[in-house]
Amino acid sequence: MDAWTRSKNFKKIIEEARELQRVFSSDVPIVIEELFTAKSDSSSLIDELQETKVLKNGARKTELLFILPSSYIGSPRYMHQLYQDAMAIVRKFGKPDLFITFTCNPNWPEVKNSLNGTQTSADRSDLTTRVFHLKLKDLLKDIVDKQVCGKTLAYVYVVEFQKRGLPHAPFLLILDQNSKPMNPDNFDEYVSAEIPDPILLPEMHQIVTMHMIHGPCGKANPNSPCMEDGKCTKKFPKDFIEKNIQSLDGYRVYKRTEIGITVEKNGQKVDNRWVVPYNPHLLYEYGAHINVEISTHKLKLDPPTLAGGCDSDQWSAFTRQWKMYKTGMVITDNVLPTALFYCCDTNIRTDIMRDLQGDVASMIETDLLNVIKRLAVKEESTLVQRIKLNRMFLSPGSNIRTCLASLRGQVHSASIKPRAEK
Ligand SMILES: [Zn+2]
């Protein structure tokens, strides 16, 4: 029997013996790992390991020490090297903007059409892995060359294997400044978290229903893998929300309108609250579970603070700072009152709660600002303000610009209209 026939026969035996095939797929990497394991006798490496406390003091038995080099895929040194590269990319190009998880679909036609007889995709991990690899290359082309999510400056990804053997690849994309999803109004261009209308978009409706519905978990399915201590670790079902927002902690919350579109999954009726965020273009193109999330972007700005009993000058400074703060932090309308409330000190907050019967969180910003102004700013008569103005002086060594700004503020508070004379 020649080598070709032998290899063909071996492949056939492997394919037909399903359990054997699974054992073969899991054993081969271990055998390779053993073959590639490098035995180290380098004293400098031992010193380095002792310094980093990988080895206990005095352990110099080099004959017992095996170290996988970074050239071996999946070894700790390989992962560490990639981590360092990823950090260098972030240092150069900035924080990632999109987080995409591409998961292999065992029901892809390319997989299904290549199965023999009674085989299932679980019996052919060689096939699912190859098809996934080809689709992954296509996905990269779409993202990087065709710029379906905007101009990509840099990306990192890793292929992982889930517990049931199917590969999936989490991506991080760093986009060009003009392509970044900064405004909640533009989130729709990148991510959707709703079930499409079954009449207007029947095909997309079917794809989303098939691939992008979470669970269902909770009371209906307490044994779902996402459940921990009786709660869904992915926080499903989410809340209905009329528009995209950015929460105070920097997280993006996607629009999930309550328009009554429901589908049935595993015997349970689910609606927009159960949809895993996706990009319609990528989902339609690849027909697999592709989760797309906009990364959190939180500017580290300290909120302005307001103390009770302030004067009109301090109030005016506070409102200007507040305006800059809410723009910088991209605080959306739904959390504005709460953010504003917590800029006030404890005394003002207590006064607000006493003064208002309704819910502060549902107030309009201007109404709440008026309430805070009434409670926090002490009213001084024009006469007192004018006396203050008269007593102002330029102390030695003080900054002329600061003095001029204070003078201007005081002139305004004293209701004096400055007039230029020749
Ligand atoms: Zn869940």
- Per-residue pLDDT of 321-377, as tens digits, reads 998 888 777 677 778 888 899 999 888 888 888 888 778 888 888 888 988 888 888
* Ligand 1 geometric centre to CA of 127 (Å): 30
Distance 196 CA to ligand 1 centre (A): 21
Confidence of residue 99 (pLDDT cuts 50, 70, 90): very high
Regarding pTM above 0.75, the answer is no
How far CA 36 is from CA of 4, 33, 159, 368, 417, in Å, comes to 27, 5, 21, 68, 85
Q: Closest by alpha carbon to 335, among 249, 255, 238?
A: 249
Give dist(CA 118, CA 20) in Å, integer. Answer: 16
Selection from 118-122, 286-290, 302-306, 399-403 with the highest mean pLDDT: 286-290
Alpha carbon of 313 to ligand 1 centroid (Å): 52
| Cβ burial, residue 401 (10 Å; 0-12/13-18/19+) | exposed
Strand partners, 241: 256
Instruction: Give the integer Cα–Cα distance in Å for 103 and 288.
Output: 6
The Å distance, Cα 217 to ligand 1 centre, comes to 5
Distance CA 132, CA 168 (A): 8
Residue type, 105: N
Q: Which of 3-12, 28-37, 243-252, 389-398 has the lowest mean pLDDT?
A: 28-37
Question: 10 Å Cβ neighbour count for 209?
Answer: 17
DSSP assignments along 28-62, one per residue? HHHHHHHHHPEE---HHHHHHHHHTTSS-TT---G
Residue 33 pLDDT > 70, yes or no?
Answer: no
Helix (H) or strand (E) holding 172: strand 167-175
Q: How large is the greatest C-alpha to C-alpha distance in the chain, in angstroms? A: 114
Query: Which residue's entry shows tokens 């600002």?
Result: 369
Q: What is the CA radius of gyration of the chain?
A: 31
| Higher-pLDDT residue of 246, 366 | 366
The rounded Å distance from CA 159 to ligand 1 centre is 23
What's the gap between Cα 406 and its chain centre?
Answer: 44
C-alpha 182 – ligand 1 centre gap (Å): 28
Ligand 1 centroid, distance to 171 Cα (angstroms): 22
